[in-house]
């Protein structure tokens, strides 16, 4: 992979010699004479490393570094003369990855650039792994929906927001009908296929503000901010109908369908989380009592 370097220096001799050397050892190099030109170039051409002098006409290199680190995901190395009144600490505070005194040996510059690129790669990989771990901590591995831990965290946030802004907030709780019988008949691996398919269908029915959860073993929940009870029921019926249309084949030549029961409710003014969930659960229980494969709401 060829890395791209942008040199920013109003000393043409330094700029040209550094540019020539870095090009010779296979970097892709651009060079400009001011911080203003550098920012203009970065609008259309992202680079891996900006190598900038500190002392320049107009904006200095430290201010350029600060702006770059605020706007872009790239590394900045700053250069200054031996007698310049700047320190490594000042450079690092603005976001610089390295600090070089002029004059420097070109071989040293190459080594410094390679180190900065290597550390940047490690940092990006570390951040990627952290995000992946955070995602795994709040996601159900089987259905890829959010898990129950995230459900209780999010419903608390949404109810508090509702209390502040008096917006609508609705909740659906869904339960697979006769799922124990399906598992006992066809085995847990086939049951897992049902759970995965239902997770996929629920997720496909979500609008941008809705969040779906695997609430329990065969139970799912959907939080619907900015949504009144009537609108929530529309979403619930859409999910129920699509799941009812899905055909499973637990063994060759055997076709099975699945139904779900749903409870729906809208948060009442001043209601706490426990009551909100309990009312929705009670609505789900009435769906079960009424023959399953239906939606019951609590208003």
User: Looking only at Cα atoms, what is the longest distance across the chain?
Assistant: 86
Residues 13, 111 within the same domain: yes
What's 29's domain CATH number? 3.40.50.2300
Q: With beta carbons less than 8 A apart as the criterion, state whether 281 and 255 touch.
A: no
The yes-or-no answer on residue 218 being catalytic is yes
| C-alpha distances out from residue 130 to 126, 127, 133, 135, Å | 6, 5, 5, 9
- State residue 102's pLDDT score: 86
Residues 172, 205 within the same domain: yes
Residue 25 lies in a domain: yes
Residues 178, 290 within the same domain: yes
Contacts of 47 (CB under 8 A, 6+ apart): 4, 5, 6, 30, 74
Which of these is catalytic: 70, 75, 107, 218?
A: 218
Distance in angstroms (rounded) separating the CA atoms of residues 258 and 178: 9
Contacts of 191 (CB under 8 A, 6+ apart): 179, 182, 183
Residue 141 lies in a domain: no
Q: With beta carbons less than 8 A apart as the criterion, state whether 10 and 34 touch.
A: yes
Residues 59, 85 within the same domain: yes
Contacts of 52 (CB under 8 A, 6+ apart): 7, 8, 9, 35, 38, 61, 64, 65, 76, 77, 78, 79
Q: Which residues pair with 260 in a beta bridge?
A: 176
Residues 45, 157 within the same domain: no
- State residue 249's pLDDT score: 95
Burial of 14 (0-12, 13-18, 19+ CB in 10 A): middle
Determine the Cα angle at 15 with ends 9 and 19, to 5°. 130
- State residue 83's pLDDT score: 56
Residues 251, 164 within the same domain: yes
Q: Could you tell me what percentage of the chain is helix, strand and coil, using 3-state DSSP and rounding each to the nearest 5?
A: 50, 25, 30
Q: With beta carbons less than 8 A apart as the criterion, state whether 234 and 136 touch.
A: no
Q: With beta carbons less than 8 A apart as the criterion, state whether 37 and 30 touch.
A: no
3-state SS assignment for residue 170: strand
Place of tokens 């700047």: 86
Per-residue pLDDT of 75-114, as tens digits, reads 999 998 755 566 677 877 889 999 888 889 999 999 999 9
Per-residue pLDDT of 251-286, as tens digits, reads 999 999 999 999 999 999 999 999 999 999 999 999
Residues 123, 171 within the same domain: no
- State residue 61's pLDDT score: 92
Question: Which residue range forms the structural domain that includes residue 210?
Answer: 148-298
What's 293's domain CATH number? 3.30.70.270
Distance in angstroms (rounded) separating the CA atoms of residues 39 and 52: 12
- State residue 87's pLDDT score: 67
Distance in angstroms (rounded) separating the CA atoms of residues 5 and 222: 48
Chain center to CA of 223:
19
Tokens standing for 58?
Answer: 């107009």
Low-confidence ranges of the chain (pLDDT < 50): none
Q: With beta carbons less than 8 A apart as the criterion, state whether 68 and 93 touch.
A: no
Q: How many domains does the chain have?
A: 2
Q: pTM for this one?
A: 0.65
Residues 208, 120 within the same domain: no
- State residue 86's pLDDT score: 63
- State residue 164's pLDDT score: 85
Residues 108, 202 within the same domain: no
Distance in angstroms (rounded) separating the CA atoms of residues 50 and 65: 9
Residues 234, 293 within the same domain: yes
């Amino acid at each position: 992979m060829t890395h791209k370097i942008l040199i920013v220096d109003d000393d043409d001799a330094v700029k040209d010699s550094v540019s020539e050397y870095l090009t010779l050892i296979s970097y892709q190099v651009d060079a400009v004479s001011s911080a203003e030109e550098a920012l203009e170039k970065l609008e259309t051409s992202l680079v891996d490393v900006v190598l900038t002098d500190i002392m320049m006409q107009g904006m200095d290199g430290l201010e350029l570094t600060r702006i770059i680190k605020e706007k872009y995901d790239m590394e900045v190395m700053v250069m200054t003369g031996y007698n310049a009144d700047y320190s490594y600490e000042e450079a690092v505070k603005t976001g610089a990855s390295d600090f070089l005194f002029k004059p420097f040996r070109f071989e040293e510059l190459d080594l410094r650039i390679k180190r900065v690129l290597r550390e940047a790669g490690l940092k990006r990989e570390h951040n990627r792994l952290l995000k992946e771990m955070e995602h795994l901590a709040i996601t159900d591995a089987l259905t890829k929906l959010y898990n129950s831990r995230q459900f209780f965290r999010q419903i608390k946030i949404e109810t508090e927001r509702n209390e502040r802004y008096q917006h609508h907030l609705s909740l659906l709780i869904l339960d697979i009908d006769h799922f124990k019988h399906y598992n006992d008949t066809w085995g847990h691996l086939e049951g897992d296929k049902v759970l995965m398919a239902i997770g996929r269908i629920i997720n496909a029915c979500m609008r941008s503000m809705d969040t779906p959860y695997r609430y329990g073993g065969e139970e799912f929940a959907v939080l619907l901010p900015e949504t009144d009870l009537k609108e929530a029921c529309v979403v619930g019926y859409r999910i129920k109908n699509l799941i009812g249309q899905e055909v499973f084949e637990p063994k060759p030549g055997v076709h099975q369908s699945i139904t779900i029961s749903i409870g729906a409710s809208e948060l009442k003014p001043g209601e706490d989380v426990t009551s909100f969930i309990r009312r929705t659960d009670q609505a789900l229980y009435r769906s079960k009592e009424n023959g399953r494969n239906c939606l019951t709401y609590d208003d």
